[in-house]
Structure 1
Amino acid sequence: MRIKQLIILLLLTSLIFIVLSSGCSYKKPADNPDKITIGLSMATLHEERWQRDVDALRAKAQAKGAEILFRNANNNIDNQISQVKNLLSEGIDILIIVAQDYEKSQQAVQLARNKGIRVICYDRLIKNGNTDFYVSFDNIKVGEYMASLMVSKVPKGNYIIINGAKTDNNSFMYNKGFKNILDKYLYEGTIKIVDEVWADDWNPEDAYKCVDKALSAGKKIDAVIAANDGLAGSAIEALSKKHMAGKVLVAGHDADISGCQRVAEGTQLLTVYKPIDQLAEKAIDVAMGLLKNDYYASNKIINDGEYDIPYEMVEPVAVTKDSLLDTVIRASFHKLEDVYRHVPKNKWPSKK
């Protein structure tokens, strides 16, 4: 009797395995397994960092003997869907995608699935996408770094928060990081948020309009937390019109050269450096592992709203005026002479 039950159990287990496997039938690299083609679908190259990502991904792929086919959607979801179709028609072996729209980009995932192509979300998660992997930074920690340093300098007063695009899941993660730190102060009433906006497609003009409107209305502003350096730059531009740049503290992130220059000049309190080289290397390692071994080990997961997705995370680094030399410059992310271009040379830090 026990033997019969054991046989039935084994048959049922095998059936479950077959059903699960049949739902995930992936294409193997083409006739020549040594020549792997990775499709790269970028949402945009508007911000400086994204071109760095493309260059790093190409270099890392080439070092592993793989080739990158690249498309840029220019912040247009219809372009992204069309370009993914094109990449799939060119016979890519795996797709790395920076989602233009964290909900609608799910269509691109389904197109790849239909062709048996695995999908890696690069930096931006796709909602309910059930992708094969997510490779990004600790985006909640990015927001926490920004807000934590800000409240250490401005523990009470009026804040403006300028979030990123609502179509980008990272915007909500950064915002969660902001609020993790600010909620205590908001509850106590020592900090008040006088305005909070979401920038369409990360458009810096929305940041300028928000700060300019608040200043024109006579609102007192003590601090601005902007979700990237582009938004921070436009907020500072609006402050400059009222001769308030450097007096109202502003936080951004991405460690763009312009953001780092403002940190060096004192008009921006901080930025956050995200080691793109490390992120690109992880993405290519994951891609090669999935293609050659059918798996890539990860001890982290993130929920995309419906599914738990394996997650490779790179730690971000907060950057202030005092740490520019030991972070972005020492990492060769930027050159000292570029960061301090607008600072008198006698005020440059000396390399140790």
Structure 2
Amino acid sequence: MKHYLKSITLVILILPLFMLLSCETEKDVDVNSEIREAEESEHIAIESIDTTSDKIKIGFSMDTLEEERWLKDRDMFKEAVEALGAEVEILAANGNDAIQILHAETLIDQGVDVLVVVPYNAESTAAIVDKARLSDIKVISYDRLVKNADVDLYISFDNEQVGEMQARAITELVPKGKYVYIGGADTDNNAHLFKKGVFNILQPFIDQGDITVVYDQWTKDWTPLNAFKNMEEALIANNYEIDAVIAANDATAGGVIEALDALGLAGEIPVAGQDAELAAVQRIVDGTQTMTVYKPIKTLTDTAAALAVELAKGELVIGDRTINNGKYEVPSILLEPIAITKKNIDTIIADGFHSKEDIYRQKGN
């Protein structure tokens, strides 16, 4: 049963929680240690939503706000939920699995009607779904699929198609040669989908002997720094002879291009990314990044907000397909991505995703 708390400002102290949970399994102790370590440097201040209101309350548990893309998701989702007359509480774990689980527990205790989750770890986030189920709270897996859990709905883009768009764009430019694949975080289900899509396109070229993937590595936590290190390693291992690079997103593409730039190779080797981050689109204009994939986030946030409210009202929500998450076939809605090169940057501008002035750095070109 949901707990309805009075509207007050709470400061969540992790140490007492750690003491209560310390008798659990060794795995649980490790998780709680992460929470305690995080709290040693910074308390997590959480303001309670007004649980005395009759409004629908949506909880949004996010992996991170450290990338430009996720800031847009946060702001647009909040705007979309409030436009529907509902309330939303948004908490971001900044890439900490234990903190995200704690956040989800907090939202559940606050009595949200629906919990929307962007999982940091596709596997361990199943614990969040299980806890929500015990409180009769519906769960939407947002952008990334939670594995092995009874998720009510999965809303994202066709991420396998994203990888196919990346590989198709690069193979059109470089049909033969040595390829490097810089993947995303191994803990993120989307990273595996992107990679699957990329190799759907690359495999026939590989089988023909036209393309050789000389380096293929995941990038811990999706960080540009780790992507930079991966690219340096790839270059050294191949005597700096690389013909093309496909990176799992624009942040990792940025790290790749920084490594190439250090050797004077930026713009010489085609690089693909995805997310249509401003810096990436600027690099496309400059000629150092070949393409990105634009995923209209407003469509995603508006759809997720509308369906969250419908679920909160007890309405039946049916996806346009199902996707197996390791436990069952999850009702899913997958939106269409758009490949972006220098030729069609106006698509992003027309959508208001980035302004012409920002893309061209106030040059107005």
> Under a length normalisation based on structure 1, what TM-score does the superposition of the two structures give?
0.87
Return the offset for 1:305. Answer: 1.3
What is the alpha-carbon distance in structure 2 between the residues aligned to residue 109 and residue 216 of structure 1? 44
Return the offset for 1:91. Answer: 1.2
Map 1:12-27 to 2 at 5 A.
none
Runs of at least 4 residues of structure 1 off by over 6 A?
Answer: 30-33
Return the offset for 1:293. Answer: 3.6
Residue number among 229, 239, 242 corresponding to 2:263 in the alignment: 242
Corresponding residue of 1:49? 69
Amino acid at match of 1:239: L
Return the offset for 1:31. Answer: 9.3
SS of match in other structure, 1:71:
strand
What is the alpha-carbon distance in structure 1 between the residues aligned to residue 230 and residue 186 of structure 2? 16
Residue number among 256, 259, 269 corresponding to 2:290 in the alignment: 269
Return the offset for 1:26. Answer: 9.9
1:304 is the counterpart of 2:325:
yes
1:337 is the counterpart of 2:360:
no
Corresponding residue of 1:134? 154
What is the alpha-carbon distance in structure 1 between the residues aligned to residue 80 and residue 132 of structure 2? 23
Q: Higher Cα Rg: structure 1 or 2?
A: 1
Partners of 1:61 and 1:68 within 8 A in 2: yes
Corresponding residue of 1:160? 180
Residue number among 164, 171, 178 corresponding to 2:191 in the alignment: 171
Corresponding residue of 2:218? 198
SS of match in other structure, 1:70:
strand
SS of match in other structure, 2:317:
coil
Partners of 1:138 and 1:315 within 8 A in 2: yes
Corresponding residue of 1:181? 201
What is the alpha-carbon distance in structure 2 between the residues aligned to residue 282 and residue 33 of structure 1? 24
Map 1:19-38 to 2 at 5 A.
35-38=55-58
- 1:123-171: CA deviation from partner (whole Å, max 9, x where unpaired): 0101111200000000000000000010000000001001101110000
Partners of 2:2 and 2:111 within 8 A in 1: no
Corresponding residue of 2:132? 112
Residue number among 281, 285, 290 corresponding to 2:311 in the alignment: 290
Partners of 1:130 and 1:308 within 8 A in 2: no
What is the alpha-carbon distance in structure 1 between the residues aligned to residue 89 and residue 2 of structure 2? 19
Return the offset for 1:215. Answer: 2.5
Partners of 1:282 and 1:312 within 8 A in 2: no
Residue number among 86, 91, 94 corresponding to 1:71 in the alignment: 91
Moved more, 243-252 or 33-42: 33-42
Corresponding residue of 1:39? 59
What is the alpha-carbon distance in structure 2 between the residues aligned to residue 60 and residue 261 of structure 1? 28
Amino acid at match of 1:322: K
Amino acid at match of 1:236: I
What is the alpha-carbon distance in structure 1 between the residues aligned to residue 171 and residue 349 of structure 2? 26
Return the offset for 1:245. Answer: 0.5
Return the offset for 1:310. Answer: 0.8
Partners of 1:160 and 1:196 within 8 A in 2: yes
Partners of 2:2 and 2:108 within 8 A in 1: no
Amino acid at match of 1:148: R
What is the alpha-carbon distance in structure 1 between the residues aligned to residue 231 and residue 221 of structure 2? 18
What is the alpha-carbon distance in structure 2 between the residues aligned to residue 26 and residue 102 of structure 1? 25
Q: How many residues align?
A: 319
1:94 is the counterpart of 2:114:
yes
Return the offset for 1:57. Answer: 0.6
Amino acid at match of 2:342: K
Residue number among 130, 134, 145 corresponding to 2:165 in the alignment: 145
Corresponding residue of 1:210? 230
Corresponding residue of 1:18? none
SS of match in other structure, 1:150:
helix
Give aligned-pair identity as a percent: 43
What is the alpha-carbon distance in structure 1 between the residues aligned to residue 273 and residue 209 of structure 2? 24
Partners of 1:106 and 1:126 within 8 A in 2: yes
Return the offset for 1:216. Answer: 3.1
Gaps of 5+ in 1: 1-24
Return the offset for 1:33. Answer: 8.6
Change (3 A) 1:50 1:213: same
SS of match in other structure, 1:333:
coil
Partners of 1:252 and 1:272 within 8 A in 2: yes
SS of match in other structure, 2:313:
helix
Once superposed, what is the RMSD of the aligned Cα atoms? 1.9
Partners of 2:143 and 2:156 within 8 A in 1: yes
Return the offset for 1:284. Answer: 1.1
